[in-house]
Homo-oligomer: A and B are copies of this chain.
Amino acid sequence: MKHTEISSIGEFGLIKRLMGDIKLKNDSSERGAGDDCAVLHYPDSQVLVTSDMLMEGVHFDLTYVPLPHLGYKAAVENISDICAMMGTPEQLIVDIAIGARFSIENVEDIYSGIRAACDRYHVDIVGGDTSTSLTGLAIAITCIGSARRDEIAYRSGAQENDLLCVTGNLGAAYMGLQLLEREKAVFEEQTAKAKTVESRLAIQQPDFAGHEYLLERQLKPEARYDIVQALRKAGIQPTAMIDISDGLSSEAMHIAKASNKGCRIYEERIPIDYQTSSLADDFGINPVTAALSGGEDYELLFTVPLKDYDKIREVEDVHVIGNITRPELGNTLVTRAGAEIELKAQGWNAFPDDKQ
């Protein structure tokens, strides 16, 4: 593969190469990259802003994450946060710091993923910063979107007896990660043992057959803007909403806490794909645990008034998994056997030694 040193074209050359042919798609994007600031215009709605930073070795592992997928996922994570407020994603600002081992082609690969996500979600890249890292790769993305004030779904609006709903299915991204980690360990073990050329050539390639969906959920997640649109179309205004980045338990507890309520989730209603269940069995993991505590599904968790029950049943890919209760009742998982156990947040943690 071609490896062109970034130093051969410089910072401004690189930015021009990455951003040069970008056409702005949204009316709210008045000016994109190329000046001290981007210029946006939101006269008729509130402006939603969210930002996340991804660090190599902490949030991603380049031994198995292809660079375009990394870019796509970094963009989608932020787009998902706009969706989680019932907003429309409109702009992205991309800061990337790269180590000396990276070529122009590598950076273009990351950008190709970011741009693919922007095309898919009709979002404009309007600026950012590209510079050197002495160590690992770092990506910080800010996403900007819009929503009218009465459309915005905060975490804090859930009411007693509201239905608790979730989109798609859960735990798949987590099982995809387990699979990638397992195959990486196998590969590294074989490589360490193989002393001759013959034995090196005989090293097995990772076997992902039958698990493609899980890999896609981990490596190329999607934001549920389709659900935002479907809810608007159905005339349903969620009372509270959040996206599932840290596992169902943790997110349900965020809504309950912010709304000063309790919640009740029925185990049998948690949507889990058969590939997730199947691989979880292989790993000796309870698939419900993967759904409750595995992260990165980027599905939406939201509450709607009980009166919307008939309407919400008609919205595709939405599952009612429980309800909101008085705060004194706490946060509960009702098992298939009918036992009630307390929900605990054990989602992904940005500080791995965390004792909470």
Which residue of chain B lies nearest to A144 when distances are taken between CB atoms in the complex? B49
Instruction: Indicate if the CB atoms of A49 and B37 lie closer than 8 Å.
Output: yes
**Which of B7, B40, B81 lies in contact with A36, CB distance below 8 A?**
B81
Q: Which residues of A does B touch, CB under 8 Å?
A: 5-14, 30-31, 34-44, 46-53, 55-59, 81-82, 84-85, 87, 91, 93, 95-97, 126-136, 138, 140, 142, 144-145, 152, 154-156, 241-243, 258, 349-356
Instruction: Indicate if the CB atoms of A353 and B5 lie closer than 8 Å.
Output: yes
Instruction: Indicate if the CB atoms of B50 and A127 lie closer than 8 Å.
Output: yes
B-side contacts of A132, CB under 8 Å: 55, 58, 350-352
- Apart from A49-B142, A133-B136, what are 12 other A-B pairs with CB-CB below 8 Å? A7-B353, A7-B354, A7-B355, A39-B47, A39-B85, A43-B43, A53-B96, A55-B138, A57-B135, A58-B97, A135-B135, A142-B142
**Known contacts A81-B36, A84-B36, A53 near B131 by CB under 8 Å:** yes
Q: How far is the CA of A35 from the CA of B85 in the complex (A)?
A: 8
Q: How far is the CA of A95 from the CA of B81 in the complex (A)?
A: 15
- Shortest A123–chain B CB gap in Å is 14
A-B contact pairs, 8 of them (CB 8 A): A10-B355, A11-B354, A30-B46, A37-B84, A39-B47, A53-B95, A55-B131, A130-B350
- The interface centre, meaning the residue of A10, A95, A140 with most chain B CB atoms within 10 A of its CB, is A140
- Shortest A146–chain B CB gap in Å is 10
B-side contacts of A352, CB under 8 Å: 7, 132
Q: How far is the CA of A156 from the CA of B3 in the complex (A)?
A: 34
Instruction: Indicate if the CB atoms of B97 and A142 lie closer than 8 Å.
Output: no
Q: How far is the CA of A350 from the CA of B130 in the complex (A)?
A: 8
B-side contacts of A134, CB under 8 Å: 55-58, 135-136
**Known contacts A37-B85, A41-B46, A356-B10, A140 near B351 by CB under 8 Å:** no
- Shortest A231–chain B CB gap in Å is 16
Instruction: Indicate if the CB atoms of A97 and B55 lie closer than 8 Å.
Output: yes
Which residue of chain B lies nearest to A30 when distances are taken between CB atoms in the complex? B46
Q: How far is the CA of A183 from the CA of B46 in the complex (A)?
A: 50
**Known contacts A36-B84, A53-B97, A11 near B350 by CB under 8 Å:** yes
Instruction: Indicate if the CB atoms of B131 and A58 lie closer than 8 Å.
Output: yes
Instruction: Indicate if the CB atoms of A7 and B127 lie closer than 8 Å.
Output: no
B-side contacts of A30, CB under 8 Å: 46
